[in-house]
């Protein structure tokens, strides 16, 4: 059964803009190529960038989530994007980030693309058969 994605709102577009601005400022080929932004339940926005390291550094989503968690916040929504030429397309979270979202904030709204259109879904809807610790 296909997932029922929901359309994004003006607040969701603001979150995309925050991630885009972070990547515009911090983009470094082969170092920082993805940014993420999270909106918390208080309404504050935190951003982060990926950290490319050998063999593999953290994605942008856990960096942004960590910034919010350090401030004592709860994640309400999240988006990640990359830079391709002059475009900043929204990215779906990787499998590892989907599990992280499931572990820490399963009810958060995740912005992602579906057939070229930005949509949203709950984090728990994006990972069929997640690992759940006892």
Q: Return the sign of the alpha-carbon dihedral for residues 127, 117, 84, 35.
A: negative
Per the domain annotation, does 98 fall within a domain?
yes
Per the domain annotation, does 134 fall within a domain?
no
Number of domains in the chain: 1
Please state, in angstroms and rounded to a whole number, the distance separating the CA atoms of residues 85 and 31.
16
Per the domain annotation, does 130 fall within a domain?
no
Per the domain annotation, does 23 fall within a domain?
yes
Report the predicted TM-score, pTM, of the whole model to 2 decimal places.
0.91
Q: Which residue has the higher pLDDT, 28 or 1?
A: 28
Cis peptide before 94 (omega within 30 of 0): no
Residue 122 host element (H or E): strand 117-122
Q: Is 61 considered catalytic here? A: yes
Please state, in angstroms and rounded to a whole number, the distance separating the CA atoms of residues 56 and 54.
5
Domain containing 118 — which CATH number? 3.40.140.10
Name the catalytic one among 14, 21, 61, 87: 61
Per the domain annotation, does 115 fall within a domain?
yes
Residue 129 has pLDDT above 80, yes or no: no
pLDDT tens column, 24-71 = 999 888 889 999 999 999 999 999 999 987 777 899 999 999 999 999
Per the domain annotation, does 106 fall within a domain?
yes
Closest-CA residue to 106 (of 134, 86, 130, 84) = 130
| Domain span at 109 | 6-125
Per the domain annotation, does 1 fall within a domain?
no
Per the domain annotation, does 120 fall within a domain?
yes
């Amino acid at each position: 059964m296909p997932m029922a994605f929901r359309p994004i709102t003006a607040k969701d577009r603001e979150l995309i803009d925050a991630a885009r601005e972070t990547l515009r400022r911090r983009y470094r080929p082969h170092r920082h190529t993805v940014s993420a932004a999270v909106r918390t339940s208080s309404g504050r926005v935190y951003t982060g960038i990926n950290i490319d390291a050998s063999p593999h550094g953290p994605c942008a989503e856990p960096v942004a989530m960590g910034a919010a968690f350090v401030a004592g916040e709860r994640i309400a929504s999240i988006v990640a994007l990359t830079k391709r030429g002059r475009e900043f397309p929204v990215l779906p979270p990787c499998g590892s980030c989907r599990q992280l979202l499931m572990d820490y904030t399963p009810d958060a709204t995740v912005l992602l693309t579906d057939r070229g259109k930005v949509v949203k879904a709950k984090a728990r809807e994006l990972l069929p058969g997640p690992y759940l610790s006892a």
